[in-house]
Amino acid sequence: MYNQTGLRAAGAWLAAASVLLFLALAFHGPLHPDLAMQMTRIGESASRWAVVHWTAAAAFSCFIIAAVLVLVSRSRLTNTGRTISAWAVVLVGAIWTLTTAVTEVTVIADLAAAGDRAQFEAWWSFAEGYGNGFSMLAVAVAVIAWHEYREPARLLPPWSAGVGAGAGLASFAGWALGVWFDIGPANLLWLLASGVMCLWLAWLGTALARGRDVNFNGAAVRD
């Protein structure tokens, strides 16, 4: 028997997480391929950088709660090995990226403002490593959205699930090309695709919070 109360709570947390992350991304901007320029940008607006990353930290905390609630609710959202794994990856990816967000606020912003290039580069590498959790989360969202697309008793229109899956893959590609291979324009792809991904997740979370879900037998449920 699935737990619809848990799913409603998960939906509310997922919607909140997605809105917060969308706002954080909107004010974050694309990463600069030149680390010196990125340091200068942060140093010139360290307070804004801190606000953006505290917002991101709140968002990833909400993603963690949402993923846990989905995993324990035993709904059709986790009725296959792929979807259980995807929500588990959302959980792990959010934990990793939360570490990055807090590091950006507590260490990196201060180092950039102080102009300490050597320490900045070391901590930036640390944060960037944990930031790979974002790419994990993006792939997981693509899997979740594709499952929604193929599900007969889906929560959202099929076209929206297709957009969600595409945005997740594009976000991963943008991160991989921009961060791993230093291809500057890919950072803008990551930012835009991640924004679309957040909007789709907010829509999914809102649908769940309103109390609509599907049990294992495929029957639509609303109470």
How far from chain centre, in Å, is Cα 191? 11
pLDDT of residue 2: 57
CA neighbor of 77 nearest in space, from 222, 214, 187, 184: 214
Strands 220-221 and 213-214: antiparallel
The runs of H, that is alpha helices, within 3-116 are 4-28, 35-44, 46-73, 81-103, 109-114
pTM (whole model) above 0.85: yes
pLDDT tens per residue across span 104-139: 999 999 999 999 999 999 999 999 999 999 999 999
Q: Which residues are registered as beta bridge partners of 220?
A: 214
pLDDT of residue 1: 47
Domain boundaries, the chain: 4-218
pLDDT tens per residue across span 13-58: 999 999 999 999 999 999 988 999 999 999 999 999 999 999 999 9
